[in-house]
Structure 1
């Protein structure tokens, strides 16, 4: 991710909760995945997509890869922002590029790329793929994000 990246989706400020911190007083590394997931769900909702509707139409979205670079720790009492951009990542995959910033000074705390795909119900069984509705939204988001 570079400085020219635009971040069309933002969640926050959110609060770090005490129970998310380890004995060192910093947010446990696994908790950041929850923060990122919440922001991805909000991003999809903002795009007009709903997990329950996708499931009912025979498509389940799954994460196939998660890359997380931890730059600085968040601590109890911190507030933070999660910024997200989403776009195509090959024919049947999509990627969310995400950053977590401390709200007080917008210092970069985490960078992540989460790659996913859809699993479609077809007359031949379940297979990887994306429904047209999702493809259209991803293409639209990719253009908005400058991808």
Structure 2
């Protein structure tokens, strides 16, 4: 399980004093990119080769809000769905008490020339069962 620690910045909050719903997508995406980097998946190099890692669908359950200066962490795990889709199972937790803030599932695929790719070998490292990693930002 990958874990990325972060802190809410003031400008990410709306007039109600809580993190705006759209900002959570940024947190989730940033954690996915850091996860890929930690597994040595070279996202920019794949793009240069014409292989795009694309989000196909995002499911987000909002459980509790984050507020300015809250410390939190995002977890990332992966599952395969069929031969093409990768599911990023992500949760956001309040760091102080491990309260679940967001439960999300983001479905993605490798796309080349507008078509989904089967069995991209560069992504096999995502399914290494022995991998555990945590970083702070």
Match among 110, 122, 127 for residue 139 of structure 1: 127
Q: TM-score, normalised by structure 1?
A: 0.83
Q: CA RMSD in A?
A: 1.4
Q: CA deviation at 1:65?
A: 0.3
TM-score for both structures, normalised by structure 2? 0.89
Q: Which has the larger radius of gyration?
A: 1
1:89 corresponds, among 74, 81, 102, to: 81
Superposition map of 1:105-116 within 5 A? 105-116=97-108
Q: Structure 2: where are the runs of 5+ without partners?
A: 132-137
1:56 paired to 2:44? no
Q: Write out the 4+ residue segments of structure 1 that deviate beyond 6 Å after TM superposition.
A: none
**Structure with the greater relative contact order (CA < 8 A, sep ≥ 6): 1 or 2?**
2
Unaligned runs of 5+ in 1: 1-7
Question: Is 1:129–2:112 an aligned residue pair?
Answer: no
How many correspondences in the alignment?
130
